[in-house]
Structures are given as C-alpha cells and as structure tokens.
Structure 1
Amino acid sequence: MDPLGVAGALGAGLSYAGYTVTARTLLLRGAHGVTVMAGMFGVGAMVLLPAVAGADLGWVLSARGALMVAWLGLVATGLSYVLFQHGLAGLPSSTVATLSLAEPVTATLLGVLVLGEVLGSLSALGITVVVLSLAAMALPGRRPRAGTRVAP
C-alpha cells in the first residue's frame, strides 16, 4: 500500500464531497445551477493552471485537438455536470454522490465490452460493491425528505 496514494485518494474523496455539498448548498440558496457549475469549474481550472505551465499545448491548435477539447469540455464534462446539478437540485448530496459512482462502473464495462479490455478480479469486486451499494440506496425508505427540492 502506498501511503501517498492513499492520502491522494482520501484528498480526492474529501474534495468531491466538499464540492457536492457546496454546490447543493448554493442551489438551495437560489443560485442558478449552470452558474454554480461554471464557477466551480472556473476555480478548479485556475487552481490547476500551474500544472500545465511549460507543457506543449500545440496540439490544441490542430483541428483534431480543438475538436477533442470541444467534445471533452462541452459534452463529456459540461453536459454531464449540468445533469449532475439537476440531480443536486432535487436530491440530497449523499444520494447524488452515491449515484455518480455508476460513472466508473459504466466506463469500466464499456472498456471491457467495446475495447476488449480484460476485467481483473479486483475491478470485478469493485463493480460488485458499487452496484450493491446503488441497489441498497434504491431500497424503500431511502427517499429524500419532503421540501428538499430546489429549482435548477
């Protein structure tokens, strides 16, 4: 076990939880959903900007590179987080964060089914845990409390 890796994973999990709770709080206070997402991604981009300092970004200027950036920015990220904020507008943060765990499961299964990747036993165990957790969240009695819906 790599302590730095574990610390990084814990930091990522805490950051995601903080992001989710903060976004939900802003939505409950009446902030516009797209504005909340754009603001958070803008702050994230500024924080990460030093990581690309000195990197060769010439590929972005090619047609293929520009299309890749547009696809990843507008569809893969933009659209998915607009949908994410709609979920946050009507469900508790814990439910939305748990449901978002289906994303890596989907990506892994697509890798196996479409790209012919091999599913290892640890990955299969992880998928099983996530799917069982999502099923447990769907059980009766796990409904959000009345009055928690906000406008997207």
Structure 2
Amino acid sequence: MTALAAPPAQRSRYASDLALAAFAPVSWGTTYVVTTTLLPADRPLLAATLRALPAGLVLLAATRRLPRGDWWWKSIVLGMLNFGAFFPLIFFAAYRLPGGVAATIGSVQPLIVALLSLGVLRVRPARAVLYSAFAGTGGVALLTLTADAGLDPLGVAAMLTATSLMAVAIVLAKKWGRPESPLVMTGWQLTVGGLALLPATLAAEGVPSSVTGENLLGFAYLGIVGTAIAYALWFRGIDRLAPTSVSLLGLTNPMVATLAGLLILGQTLTFWQIVGFTVALGALVAGQSFTRRPAPVPDVPPIPQPAGRV
C-alpha cells in the first residue's frame, strides 16, 4: 500500500511523522554556513566534540536511563556511526568543500540505503522510489554544483564516507528497533560519540586559546537545534517510517544549504540551479508519495494460543 492509498487518519499520521523527521535534515542544511561563519577555523574535531558531548550528557542527565543487555554494544556501534565517526568527517568536509558540493555528495544516501535495505532488511524499494532517488540526486547536482565549485579530494572522500556511515546507521537502527524512546537513545549515542572524540580532539587540536561570542553561538545552535532536537526527531522518524522514506528526506539538506547561501552569503541562483531545485523538490515529493507503507493492522482482539506456545 502506498502512502496515498492509506486511510485518511493513517495519511495524517504519516504526514506528521514526515514533517517532524524532516526537521533534522532541514537543520543540518544550515551546518555548512554556521561552520564557515561562526565556528573557529580548521577545527573539525573540536566542532564535532562540542556538538556531540554536551548535548549527550544533558540528555543522559535528563532521561536518567542507561542501556541494558546487548543495547550497550548496539549503542556503541550506532553512536560511532552517527556521531563518533560521522561528525568529524562532516566538519572536515565542511571546512574543505563548498556547502553545495558537500550536500551533493550526501544526496546519494537514499541509493545507499536502498541497496543496504535490500541486503540487510530484505526490503525491496518500489521502482518509483529508486527513480525518485536518482532524479533527486541529479536535481541536487544541478542545484549545487557550479563551474567554480572546488573539489578537494580529501573533502570529497570524507563526505562520501560520512554519507555511507549514516546510511549504515539508518538500516541497522531499523533492523534492531529501539528499547527506549528516541530521546533516550539519542542521549546514549551522543555520549558515546562525544566520549570517543574527546581524547582525539585534545591530542590532535588541543584547547583553543580563545573563544568568541560568535563561536559560542555557533556551538550552541549546532548542539541544541542541529543535534539534540534534530537527532531525537530523526531517530523517531527511523522508527516510524520506511528506510528509503527517511533517507529521501535528506534531499532537503542541500536545498536548505543552497537557500542559506543565497540568503546569508549573498549567493545567486542560475537558471540550471533553479531547474535543479525544482527537480529535487519534485523527486522528494514523488518519492514520499510512492514509498510503500504496511497495510494497517485491524483493531481486533488477540487470538488465544494453545497451552505451551509462546
């Protein structure tokens, strides 16, 4: 069943889940402009650590819940994929690439998630969803890649690796489910990632000699809005939506990054960038419309089981 064929109440819940999950990539689209305008120059590990660890400790203190059983190692795996490895790579790419180029590389994530879902979850995305992912990637490329865009090889490699790690995290989170609320699990993973980053940051970059008010504003925005709130809603979306549906929302990231550059950095859009924006937006809408949804389960009493069956 597609989202459009679902009953009205289910469509309303689905739209609400999409809107809340979309807040995450929308906020992440501002990371590039915040990094270049507010954060200290050339400190990707510091930026990653201060984005993850304070937010994780605050959420951990607020929820007061710790993992149990095999969720200790699962939280470590997801925490390293989503934060411990992803954050420094994304900041490294943000320092070395124009925001549009970094976002374009990240837009291949729906295709990676689709392939991983096929192998790990045994879920075959609808052809319309795959076509939307291809179209969205092409539209984002038109939107963000310009003739004067710099392609630093290390930045490209970092962004491609970060995108792949997050795709793996999406699929694993869908496969493993969740034992606690998204807010609790966000705290676990942020703390794991931040603690892993802290010694590396102190060893490689050290403590900055001075921090400006703009730096504090940038760190606060990324930590509270772009991390604690955004990832709680992102994990909630992973729990409630199909993997390809979640990853297609990532197309909003480069569109927001481009609009932020347009409004804040004074950049302009060419004709082909406008075409790309339109194609990417159309692919996002089409992909969500054709994402397969499970049929609603009727509200009936459970069937009694014979004695001895569990």
| TM-score, scaled to structure 2 | 0.39
Opposite residue 205 of structure 2, the aligned amino acid is G
Greater mean alpha carbon deviation, residues 124-133 or residues 80-89:
124-133
- Matched ranges for 1:104-119 at <5 A: 104-119=254-269
Question: Corresponding residue for 2:78?
Answer: none
Q: In the alignment, what sits opposite 1:38?
A: 187
Q: In the alignment, residue 183 of structure 2 is paired with which amino acid? A: V
- Kindly state the Cα deviation for residue 126 of structure 1 after the two structures are TM-superposed: 5.2
CA distance 1:123–1:48, change in 2 (3 Å):
farther
Task: Provide structure 1 residue ranges, at least 5 long, that are not aligned to the other structure.
Answer: none
Partner of 1:87: 237
CA RMSD, 1 decimal: 3.2
- Contact residue 59 and residue 65 of structure 1 kept, 8 A: no
State how far apart, in whole Å, the 1-side matches of 2:207 and 2:268 are: 33
The residue aligned with 2:287 is 137
Query: Does 2:224 align with 1:78?
Result: no
Q: Does 1:97 align with 2:215?
A: no
Shift of 1:102: 0.5
Instruction: Give the percent of matched residue pairs that are identical in Structure 1 and Structure 2.
Output: 32
State the partner residue of 1:68: 218
Distance change >3 Å, CA 57–CA 125, structure 1 → 2: farther
Verify the 8 A CA contact 1:24 1:93 in the aligned structure 2.
yes
**Bigger mean CA offset, 121-130 vs 70-79:** 121-130
Instruction: Output the CA distance in 1 between the equivalents of 2:214 and 2:247.
Output: 33
Q: Cα gap change, 1:74/1:142 in structure 2, threshold over 3 Å: closer, same or farther?
A: same
Residue in 1 that maps onto 2:175: 25
CA distance in 1, matches of 2:263, 2:215: 26
Q: Which has the higher contact order (CA 8 A, sep 6+)?
A: 2
Give per-residue Cα distances to partners, 1:103-139, cap 9 Å, x unaligned.
Answer: 2211211321344213367755654453232122133
Q: What is the aligned partner in structure 1 of residue 208 from structure 2?
A: 57
Q: Number of paired residues?
A: 145
AA at the equivalent of 2:189: M
Change (3 A) 1:2 1:58: closer
Given candidates 164, 184, 196, the residue that maps to 1:14 is 164
Task: Decide whether the 8 Å contact of 1:33 with 1:86 is kept in 2.
Answer: yes
Which segments of 5 or more consecutive residues in structure 2 lack a partner in the other structure?
A: 1-150, 298-310
Do the aligned residues in 2 keep the contact of 1:21 with 1:93 (CA within 8 Å)? yes
Once residues 9 and 66 of structure 1 are traced to their aligned partners in structure 2, the CA distance between those partners, rounded to angstroms, is 25
Q: Which whole-Å CA distance do the structure 2 matches of 1:65 and 1:16 have between them?
A: 26
Q: Is the Cα–Cα contact under 8 Å of residues 245 and 288 in structure 2 kept in the other structure?
A: no
Give the superposition deviation at 1:63.
Answer: 5.4
Give, in angstroms, the shift of residue 4 of structure 1: 5.0
Offset at residue 97 of structure 1 (A): 1.4
The TM-score with structure 1 as length reference comes to: 0.70
Query: Per the alignment, in what secondary structure is the counterpart of residue 118 of structure 1?
Result: coil
Letter in 2 for 1:113: L
**Aligned CA distance change for structure 1 residues 63 and 9 (closer, same or farther; 3 Å):** closer
CA pair 13-106 structure 1, distance change in 2 beyond 3 A: same
Displacement, 1:143?
A: 3.5
